[in-house]
Amino acid sequence: MAIREIRVVPDPVLRTPCDEIKSITPAVRRLVEDLLETVDDPGRAGLSANQIGVSLRAFSYNIEGKIGYILNPVMEEKSGEQYGDEGCLSVPGLWYKTRRADYARVRGIDLDGNEVVLEGSGLMGRMLQHECDHLDGHVYLDRLEKEERREALRYMRAHAAK
């Protein structure tokens, strides 16, 4: 197991839709171990595989003391609305109010091929949507209003040059 380095925007792996996991290999098992170890840090709610440079559909989470993972998640349902602060390990130092559904449910599998359903409202709902976005090649900045998105990208360019 290893704590992996987090990829940051504009790394192209963050903009590439991730591939479905076709079989549970030793490499996939190591990936899950690394995702779980890397997300196990205060302030980290979720971590997708592409954020550590692996373009496979998997993410780990750390919500209210519960740490877990899911492979090949598919968003099944979203409802309600929340508008609150959101940040991202791949967009360090920036937090913006972001509109999301309040409730979300995803379905996927675990390392034994068993079905897994993750669902929740509030922070859990936000994390599920945020991580599924990552796996589809999107970052939360894509959901911001145009002027906020411009401001965030200007900030990132200015700080990347330092």
Q: Which residues are catalytic?
A: 131
- Cα-based torsion angle of the residue sequence 146, 150, 152, 154 in order, rounded to the nearest 10 degrees: 180
Is residue 18 a known part of a binding site? no
112 to 25, 29, 108, 118, 143: CA distances (angstroms):
11, 10, 11, 16, 34
Is residue 130 a known part of a binding site? yes
φ, ψ dihedrals at 27, nearest 5° = -65, -40
106 to 55, 102, 124, 136: CA distances (angstroms):
19, 14, 11, 14
Is residue 88 a known part of a binding site? yes
Binding-site residue ranges for Fe cation: 88, 130, 134
In the annotated binding site, the residues are 88, 130, 134
